[in-house]
Amino acid sequence: MADQEDGEDESDFFRSFADVPLHPPEKRDMCSRCKRPRAVCLCAHFPTHFLHISTTIHVLQHPREESRLLTTVPLLEACLPPNKIIIRRGRRFHKHDWPDLHEILNKPTTLLLYPGPTAENINTLSDSPLGEKYDIIVLDGTWRQAKDIFHNNPFLCQARQVQLEHNHISEYVIRTQPNSKSLCTVEAIALSLSILEKNEEIAEALIRPLRALCKIQLDHGAVVHFSKENEDEIMLRAKRQERNHKKKMSGLNEEER
């Protein structure tokens, strides 16, 4: 604050703060289910009841992802039974800290959803043994963060590694994806569950809230993000156009001379 000028009435200076409220403004009314302001509540887009699934989802979430705006895991929590989506947060998941996670890795029906040269196409998996249910481990974060978790926890390779081969275009248009085939966490889980549970309606039920979330953000000023691959192509195209324009202008200048 600037210094007071000579002769300023000090009492007038302090009186100017009389109208400042003593209590902070009330927080916006929040929805208890989707944890969003009621003005942009997503509950109308969630299933009326938790989806009935036999598969258990184990999300290994990078610590930074939890604090990011518009992360998608809360959408899953609002749609799936609490005992069917288990979230663990960290970079390294040591056995003495996470014994239950290490225990499920010994099960033949545990899958790690992570792309790689040895990963099987999840569409080609045979049915799980009678009475057995799939557990699927998913890494949540940016692609760099997911790679960080994968490489810092080599024990994850004990699980059967699978990947999605799909034609789905990501509807998570408010964040940049690495390429046109990349999916956000909720989309990857939605498509995987629809395959394992043999129920295509599951994918639509889980992606519907994501679609609504993106629409709300776009309606409030967010912009559509292209994939990193497309952004790079757009930048290269712009640079080529700029070079061509400079060459054209250079040629015109030489003719004028």
Give per-residue burial for 221-251: e unless 16+ CB within 10 Å, then b.
eeeeeebeeeeeeeeeeeeeeeeeeeeeeee
Return the domain boundaries, the chain: 38-220
What are the CA-CA distances from residue 93 to residues 6, 27, 156, 210 (Å)?
A: 64, 36, 10, 29
> What's residue 227's pLDDT?
64
pLDDT at 244: 63
The pairs formed by 181-189 with CB atoms below 8 angstroms and a separation of 24 or more are 182/143, 182/227, 184/72, 184/210, 185/59, 185/72, 185/73, 185/76, 185/138, 185/140, 186/72, 186/73, 186/75, 186/76, 186/210, 187/72, 188/113, 188/138, 188/164, 189/57, 189/76, 189/113, 189/136, 189/138
CA 211 to CA 207: how far, in whole Å? 6
* CA-closest candidate to residue 179, choices 146, 233, 227: 227
CB 128 within 8 A of CB 148: no
Give me the pLDDT at residue 6, please: 46
Kindly report the backbone phi and psi dihedral angles of residue 80, in degrees, each rounded to the nearest multiple of 5, phi listed first. Answer: -110, 150
Q: Give pLDDT, residue 213.
A: 92
Least Cα distance to 166 among 152, 175, 179, 153 occurs for: 179
Please give the chain's pLDDT, 257 residues, in tens.
444 444 445 555 444 444 555 555 556 688 877 778 888 889 999 999 999 999 999 999 999 887 776 788 999 999 999 999 999 999 999 999 999 999 999 899 999 999 999 999 999 987 777 678 999 999 999 889 999 999 999 999 999 999 999 888 889 988 877 777 789 999 999 999 999 999 999 999 999 999 999 999 999 888 887 766 555 544 454 455 566 656 656 665 665 55
Question: Which residues lie closer than 8 Å to 50 by C-beta, 6 or more apart?
Answer: 79, 80, 81, 84
Burial 63-96 (b: 16+ CB within 10 A, else e): eebeeeeebbbbbbbbbbeeebbbbeeeeebeee
